[in-house]
Structure 1
């Protein structure tokens, strides 16, 4: 699969705008609604967002650091890496989502959370949009980023963006299901 780099970045920006728009509507909900969980071992809306914030705390500085140290060099096309493509595609929401284990440090279950979690998510997504904009001027294949489970494994920047944004989408869909209860 080979995709236009600008088309990829535009698609990722559009998804991020949609995530931001949706999460901003959550500020109208009560903390009781946002802390509701369907069962004792399932996440609440705020826990889903906190989970995403924890990943954002790793990936946003990692992406920023690598973009900042990159020289300007555009590439018209982006070809995903094998591992990066696998990770990114595994995050896309499905009709019947597959359960995934999360790292203990990324699992916010039973945390005491308030609406500050929403503000953090919004700020992180605004920063992500800035990074996607800066990425227009760099090679999405040449720049590599570490991943949260191991700094030894590196993904192409384009795959890292896809992974993080698809992961956000996966949990936004989860939030929509939680709020339907």
Structure 2
């Protein structure tokens, strides 16, 4: 499967812009609403965002470092890698959302959080939009990034963007479900 690089980057920018806009609406909610949990072992909206912020703390500097060290050689098409495509697709929300285990360090359960979590998420989304713009000038296949679970495994930059942004989509939908319950 080949994807037009510009179409991929546009889709990812659109999703990221939607995440940014949604996060801005969350600033209007009370901290009580944002800390609501459906059960003892479920996350609150702020915990969902904190989880995403923790991933952003790893991936944004990792992506940035690799974009700035990449040569200028944009390609018209992007072909996902087998592992990267699997990771990215597994993050997309499905009808019956499959629960996934998260790394202990990325699990915000029982954290006491406030609205600064939203501000940080908004800042990270703006950084992602900047990185997506810069990515238009480089090869999304040849530029590789480490992943959060192992520095030894490298994904194509296009797959890393897809994974991070689809992961954000997954948890934004989770937040919407919590707030609508």
- Normalised by the length of structure 2, the TM-score is 1.00
Structure 1 segment 40-59 matched on structure 2, within 5 A: 40-59=40-59
1:161 & 1:138 partners in 2: Cα distance? 13
Kindly indicate whether residue 5 of structure 2 is the aligned counterpart of residue 5 of structure 1.
yes
1:3 & 1:102 partners in 2: Cα distance? 29
Structure 1 segment 103-142 matched on structure 2, within 5 A: 103-142=103-142
Q: Runs ≥4 in structure 1, deviation > 2 angstroms?
A: none
1:15 & 1:180 partners in 2: Cα distance? 21
Classify the secondary structure of the residue corresponding to 1:135: helix
Q: What are the Cα deviations for residues 75-94 of structure 1, in whole angstroms up to 9, with x where unaligned?
A: 00000000000000000000
- Normalised by the length of structure 1, the TM-score is 1.00
Classify the secondary structure of the residue corresponding to 1:62: helix
1:137 & 1:7 partners in 2: Cα distance? 14
Match of 1:99 in 2: 99
Classify the secondary structure of the residue corresponding to 2:38: coil
Classify the secondary structure of the residue corresponding to 1:99: coil
Q: CA shift at 1:112, angstroms? A: 0.8
Match of 2:160 in 1: 160
CA RMSD of aligned residues (A): 0.3
Classify the secondary structure of the residue corresponding to 2:151: strand
Q: What are the Cα deviations for residues 61-108 of structure 1, in whole angstroms up to 9, with x where unaligned?
A: 000000000111110000000000000000000011000000000000
Match of 1:23 in 2: 23
Stretches of structure 2 that go unaligned for 5 or more consecutive residues are none
Classify the secondary structure of the residue corresponding to 2:145: strand
